[in-house]
């Protein structure tokens, strides 16, 4: 038997409905904040990620899925979304659009070759947002608040924002020198990866999973101690805007984030979820003002955020958040003979186009089996199509909960279902209601005996 690749998952059934609901909340919230959806390729030039993310990051050195295509080009499955968005921004000259800043969001699969564990897969789905073209600290606060509000709207309660700043280039360079001076005498006490990181990007040592409990890392210099006045002022502005938005946060000088392109604001958002484990971070992001120029575009200030949907769904499950997931259908249509089957096909389509969730029989079950199938689908109503009723332009419909039955005219079926189900169906398509199976000519265009209102 062929099985799915290690670190990948099949999403189906109720879990798929939860995913779709989460995505619908994300879409609706992004729309309210005036963020436009962007879709970038799943694979791009390897150079984009190696230059954009940084050669010294674990993602590039250990985790990217790199391959050579048939044209001899070096390609990489995208490990994150920001670099692709920036490439699109530069390539499509979005910086020339008078409508600035450019605010976009994405939702798609990313690929990282790492050891699969709870909340970490090799194929993961991320949603994220980017604001390109604004250096205003208010943009930082908006991105953080937008992420927090999505989590809250989904029902997570104890949301915590950890925020820090890396400062501008001058501040970061001073901090980088301080880290090298601090770690250099003790570098042999750290793992092999950290020894390599010392000169390339010492900030990555602070993110080390192997040495995370080492006292050297805990007592390392803090970014805030090396900020120049301008960087301090900017960070205070971000915090002021968060206070205005009533977003609770905690300054955590240990937040540095794992990618090379960050400067100024960096943040992580976590949820206090029982059973989530020690790593309860749902997502994070920060400001990156050099990435667009690094990949060949103009100098562009940017701020972004990304979050794994699988991890978010897991948090909702552990918190036992009751999501409004629809697991039932409005109506199940039953039949016995071929003419009734053909009309069931026609009627199901008409009702679906009118906005109802309708299903019918496809496997040849008898009526007893069809009733069982209706129960499995949690049908609110069932209707047994009977040739005699249909000849009289009528249909027998049954409330599957109360077991009460009624015979009603086919002409009012849509109105009847709307009233009983309280679907809020208002704008009925008159053409659909006036449509019939024969057009008054006496010959059913759907096959079989004609049962439309022309032939009562």
pLDDT given at position 196: 76
- For residue 332, which of 285, 280, 381 has the smallest C-alpha distance? 381
Architecture of domain 329-455 in this structure: 3-Layer(aba) Sandwich (3.40)
pLDDT given at position 119: 63
DSSP β-bridge partners for residue 266: 164, 286
Residue range(s) occupied by CATH 3.40.50.800 in the chain: 329-455
pLDDT given at position 427: 42
Q: How far apart are CA 389 and CA 451, in angstroms?
A: 9
Residue spans of the chain under pLDDT 50: 424-437, 439-449, 451-456
Enter the CATH code of domain 13-168+228-318: 3.30.930.10
pLDDT given at position 176: 83
The tokens for 318 are 């552990």
- For residue 35, which of 134, 128, 104, 82 has the smallest C-alpha distance? 104
pLDDT given at position 440: 46
pLDDT given at position 220: 85
Q: How far apart are CA 294 and CA 314, in angstroms?
A: 36
- For residue 395, which of 334, 329, 328, 444 has the smallest C-alpha distance? 334
Residue bearing tokens 């209601």? 433
CA angle in degrees (0–180, nearest 5) for 345-351-352: 85
Q: Tell me if 41 sits within 8 A of 49, measured CB to CB.
A: no
**Letter string b/e over residues 233-257, b meaning 16 or more CB atoms within 10 A of that residue's CB:** ebbeebbebbeeeebebeebbebbb
Q: What are the Cα distances from residue 321, in Å, to 18, 274, 312, 401? A: 11, 13, 11, 26
pLDDT given at position 362: 96
The tokens for 87 are 């490439």
DSSP β-bridge partners for residue 332: 359, 382
pLDDT given at position 224: 86
Residue range(s) occupied by CATH 3.30.930.10 in the chain: 13-168+228-318
């Amino acid at each position: 038997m062929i099985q799915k690749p290690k670190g990948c998952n099949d999403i189906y059934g109720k879990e798929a409905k939860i995913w779709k609901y989460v995505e619908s909340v994300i879409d609706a919230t992004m729309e309210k904040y005036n963020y436009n959806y962007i879709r970038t390729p799943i694979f791009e030039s390897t150079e984009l990620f190696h230059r954009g993310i940084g050669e010294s990051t674990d993602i590039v050195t250990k985790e990217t899925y790199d391959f050579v295509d048939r044209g001899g080009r070096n390609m990489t499955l995208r490990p994150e979304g920001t670099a692709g968005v920036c490439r699109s921004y530069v390539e499509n000259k979005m910086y020339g659009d008078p409508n600035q800043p450019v605010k976009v969001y994405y939702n798609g699969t990313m690929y990282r070759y790492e050891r699969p564990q709870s909340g970490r897969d090799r194929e993961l789905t991320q949603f994220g947002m980017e604001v390109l073209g604004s250096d205003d600290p208010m943009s930082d606060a908006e991105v953080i608040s937008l992420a927090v509000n999505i989590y809250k709207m989904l029902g997570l309660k104890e949301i915590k924002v950890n925020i820090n700043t890396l400062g501008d280039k001058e501040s970061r360079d001073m901090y980088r020198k301080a880290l090298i001076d601090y770690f250099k005498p003790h570098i042999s006490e750290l793992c092999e990866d950290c020894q390599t990181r010392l000169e390339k990007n010492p900030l990555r040592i602070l993110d080390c999973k192997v040495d995370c409990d080492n006292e050297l890392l805990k007592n390392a210099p803090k970014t805030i101690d090396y900020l120049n006045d301008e960087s301090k002022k900017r960070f205070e502005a971000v915090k002021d805007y968060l206070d205005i938005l009533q977003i609770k946060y905690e300054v955590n000088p240990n937040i540095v984030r794992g990618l090379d392109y960050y400067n100024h604001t960096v943040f992580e958002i976590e949820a206090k979820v029982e059973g989530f484990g020690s790593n309860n971070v749902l997502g994070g992001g920060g400001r990156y003002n050099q990435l667009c120029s690094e990949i060949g575009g103009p100098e562009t200030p940017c701020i972004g955020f990304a979050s794994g949907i699988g991890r978010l769904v897991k948090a909702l499950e552990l918190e036992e958040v009751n999501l409004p997931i629809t697991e039932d259908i409005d109506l199940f249509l039953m039949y016995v003979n071929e003419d009734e089957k053909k009309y069931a096909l026609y009627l199901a389509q008409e009702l679906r186009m009118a906005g109802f969730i309708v299903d019918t029989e496809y496997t040849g079950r008898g009526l007893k089996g069809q009733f069982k199938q209706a129960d499995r689908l949690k049908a609110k109503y069932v209707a047994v199509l009977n040739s005699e009723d249909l000849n009289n332009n009528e249909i027998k419909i049954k409330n599957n909960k109360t077991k009460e039955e009624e015979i009603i005219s086919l002409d009012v079926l849509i109105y009847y279902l709307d009233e009983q189900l309280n679907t809020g169906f208002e704008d009925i398509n008159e053409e659909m209601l006036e449509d019939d199976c024969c057009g008054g000519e006496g010959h059913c265009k759907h096959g079989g005996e004609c049962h439309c209102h022309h032939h009562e």
